[in-house]
Chains A and B, each alone.
Chain A
Amino acid sequence: MLTVVLFFLFFSLFLYVLLAGADFGGGIIELFSSSKNQEKTKQTIYRVMGPIWEANHIWIIILIVILWIGFPQYFNIFVVYLHIPITLMLLGITIRGLAFIFRHYDAVKGRSQGSYNALFKLGSILSPLFLGVIFGGLVGGNINLFSENHNLSFKEIYIDGWFNVFSVLIGVFYIALCAFIASNFLIGEADDEDELNLYRKKASYSTIILVFIGLVILAYGYFNEIDFVIDFIENKYSIIAVAISGIVLIPLWKMIKLKRKAWARILAGVQVLLVVSAAMLAHFPDVIITSTKEISILDGVAPDSVIQVLGIALLIGGAIILPGLYHLMKSFQLIKLFK
């Protein structure tokens, strides 16, 4: 049953990174579009993402609930030492939710739309930035546990763990990944040649930036001897995953050229899956790295009776939710496999 629980944990993480990422990415692309194209992009995003918008953001709740039920010790370190970036991320998510409500449910379409758009873009950058910073904090090897040293200052315990170059780089990487996902999603939705070219351009820029930042992270980590990066490079599974994700770029570009949008989307999804897997495989199950030691997610895992029940609940929940979600996406033509 532990495997089932871990599967759902990983699965929700993947779907959150992908679907919320596509959503964040929409805002990021809007930010980097000329004012003429912004309106068009905005409407396309709404048409594509609208029906599943609510569902996209629930994956993070599922993720967090699985963590606290099944892996309470891990969750404890997460919420105590990364309190500040988590709060900042929540702030980003809230700003974004607010702007989203405004943009779509304000009965009066007036000048105020401008400020909603600004808020939306701000939230679209802040949320993925701090999500990345949180991940960087977990694995960056900068967390100082106060149980090991009682003389640490506030800054050493609650700030140094996440406020550093490595974490910020991971944050920027996730921003680029979001833009990559969104632009590849949008390509399939373009109405005319102009729009198509616009999204293609965004897709190629974001791919270049993504690969570049990825390499910067590896180089920075390697020269600064960050354990996570070194293990990442030395772990054959992560390297294979990264290599495949590089190779997949080629068919992805081909499918885009041939306008096979279903395949383009699947391949973009596979890309994300590979990136997330590579990051997880590099260190699993030691997914927290502090300044002194590695902490396994399986340390202090909940008792068997809890894991059993949680696994069953997830299987039942999954059996209800996943077909529902699939039909929702299909009904509104987000999945066009059979057409």
Chain B
Amino acid sequence: MENLEAARLQMAITLIFHIVFACIGMVMPFFMVISHYKWLKTRKEIYLKLTKAWQRGVAIFFVTGAVSGTALSFELGLLWPEFMKHAGPIIGMPFSLEGAAFFVEAIALGFYLYGWKKLPEKFHWFTGVIIGISGVMSGILVVAANGWMNSPSGFTYENGVFSDINPIEAMLNGAWFTQALHMTLAAFVATGFAVAGIHAYQVYKGRNVELHKKAFRIAIIFAAVAALLQPISGDISAKDVAERQPAKLAALEAHYETEKGAPLYIGGIVDEEKQEVTHKIEIPKALSFLAFGDFDAEVKGLNDFPEDEQPPVAIVHYAFQIMVGIGTLLAIVGLFYLLSLKWKKWQNHRKFWLLFTLMAPLGYIALEAGWIVTEVGRQPWIIYQVMKTKDAVTPMPGIFYSLITYTGMYIVLTCVVSWLLARQIKVLNQNEA
């Protein structure tokens, strides 16, 4: 395997894992503090039990996220030293603020985990809120740095030299808001459905039903609302990409030829050699409308870009289909839940709980697919139209071995965490019985 490929694969694998840990760490504290709030209000033991169970989940994911985040902060430099040498100072602002937010989160977590019965109740609860808020802040800031790679700003680039650096302008680049909005909602959708799904499964199996129903209700409401908002944010993102990164838009739609009134392809199999998409569903003029708000707008095809500036098409197209497909499904399921609040008897069916169990992994699959769209869709650039990925990679040969090491490390980390969570739930149910 070539060094560049190995480095890209290692980065992808690291991020795929880290994103899961980080999103859970961002969102779960909110579930926890709501349950905690209910405990303080109602003094029902069951909420205290649930809060403590979720607290362990938050702690486990925080430590895992911190470990993998430490590795990641080094990996950026280890794998892409040329990128960091130039981009580091420019996008330092969101990263240094992210460091601060992460630190605040760690301090709040220390207070929260060890503060039971030692701190004043309301203050203790409040430290839990801080964990959630600073977690979301960290997420937004990191995404802002990624936004800069898609929409570089805050510097002048001439003859390979970066000058006139304005870190604030770089942080508030054109893509930061749409990307951060999309990602924050995605974190809530994915974690909400995952947590709700795990508890739905317990209800389905008839274990400790009262507690798991309460847990389900807290998680699913976040997931349902976020899932319904997500298509709107997706539309804003698509229009953004259409304007700023036409090659990415062409790749995610597998659109080879430039045309006016371009159709939208749903599904289909991409043949990169023949440059065609078979077995697709075609909606006339829909792409032009979705991308530019005009049925007759011109959409640039991939063939209008130099060959060495075209992203891989098939993977980006498939990932995009997966993301949008699942996103739509989850919005419908979210709506279904909200309706079930009115028609309460739906919830008495076992199939209701089975449905939500099956939804558990989908949010994360969509979230990962979305990152594949944005990252692979930007290729061959690491900084869009400024620096190519191949020029950023480390000169050290043998990255393949590093790839194996990190992949092994992350697989172990994931197995361990899943196993621990399973044990937590088992013990939680046993104590009840």
**A residues neighboring B (CB under 8 Å):** 50-55, 57-58, 60-62, 64-66, 68-70, 72-73, 75-76, 78-80, 83, 86-87, 90-91, 93-94, 97-98, 100-102, 105-108, 146, 154, 157-158, 302-303, 305-306, 309-310, 313-314, 316-317, 320-321, 324-325, 328, 331-332
Contact = CB atoms under 8 A, between A and B. Distances in A.
A62 B103 contact: yes
A309 B86 contact: no
B25 to A, nearest CB: 11
Contacts of B70: 57, 60-61, 90, 93
B96 A314 contact: yes
Nearest to A78: B77
A98 B416 contact: yes
Contact of B107 (A94, A146, A321): A321
Given A302-B88, A324-B107, 6 more contacts: A97-B63, A108-B423, A108-B427, A158-B396, A317-B103, A321-B100
A9 to B, nearest CB: 12
A108 B115 CA distance: 23
A87 B99 CA distance: 21
Contacts of A146: 395
B29 to A, nearest CB: 13
A140 B402 CA distance: 25
Interface stretch (B54-62, B199-207, B356-364): B54-62
A65 B77 contact: no
Contacts of A328: 107, 110-111
Contacts of B398: 154
A157 B427 CA distance: 52
B221 to A, nearest CB: 27
Interface residues of B, number: 70
Interface stretch (B162-170, B257-265, B289-297, B368-376): B162-170
B60 A105 contact: yes
B386 to A, nearest CB: 16
B113 A72 contact: no
Interface in B80-117: 81-82, 84-86, 88-90, 92-93, 95-97, 99-100, 102-104, 106-111, 113-115
Contacts of B343: none
B103 to A, nearest CB: 5
Contacts, number: 197
A69 B420 contact: no
B107 A317 contact: no
Interface in B30-68: 56, 59-60, 62-64, 66-68
A110 B426 CA distance: 15
B335 interface: no
Nearest to A64: B73
B73 A305 contact: no
Contacts of B111: 51, 328, 331
Given A68-B77, A306-B165, A54 B106 contact: yes
Interface of B: 56, 59-60, 62-64, 66-71, 73-74, 76-78, 81-82, 84-86, 88-90, 92-93, 95-97, 99-100, 102-104, 106-111, 113-115, 118-119, 163-168, 394-398, 402, 405, 409, 412-413, 416-417, 420, 423-424, 426-428
7 contacts: A54-B110, A79-B77, A80-B81, A100-B63, A107-B428, A306-B92, A324-B107
A313 B96 contact: yes
A126 to B, nearest CB: 13
B201 to A, nearest CB: 18
A310 B107 contact: no
A309 B168 contact: yes
A106 B423 contact: yes
Given A72-B89, A105-B59, A306-B167, A61 B73 contact: yes
Nearest to B63: A101
B166 A94 contact: no
Contact of B106 (A55, A72, A97): A55
A97 B84 contact: no
A105 to B, nearest CB: 5
A91 B99 contact: no
A97 B67 contact: yes
Given A91-B405, A93-B70, A101 B64 contact: yes
Given A64-B73, A79-B84, A80-B396, A51 B114 contact: yes
Given A54-B106, A305-B165, A313 B85 contact: no
Contact of A68 (B59, B84, B104, B423): B84
A78 B104 CA distance: 28
Contacts of A332: 110, 114, 118
Contacts of B428: 107
A321 B104 contact: yes
A303 B114 CA distance: 43
Contact of A313 (B97, B108, B110, B420): B97
A305 B171 CA distance: 14
A309 B165 CA distance: 11
A65 B100 CA distance: 11
B40 to A, nearest CB: 20
The 9 closest A-B pairs by CB, nearest first: A69-B92, A317-B100, A79-B77, A97-B67, A302-B89, A107-B427, A68-B88, A54-B106, A51-B110
Nearest to A97: B67
Contacts of B90: 306
Given A79-B77, A107-B427, A58 B85 contact: no
B75 to A, nearest CB: 8
A152 B211 CA distance: 65
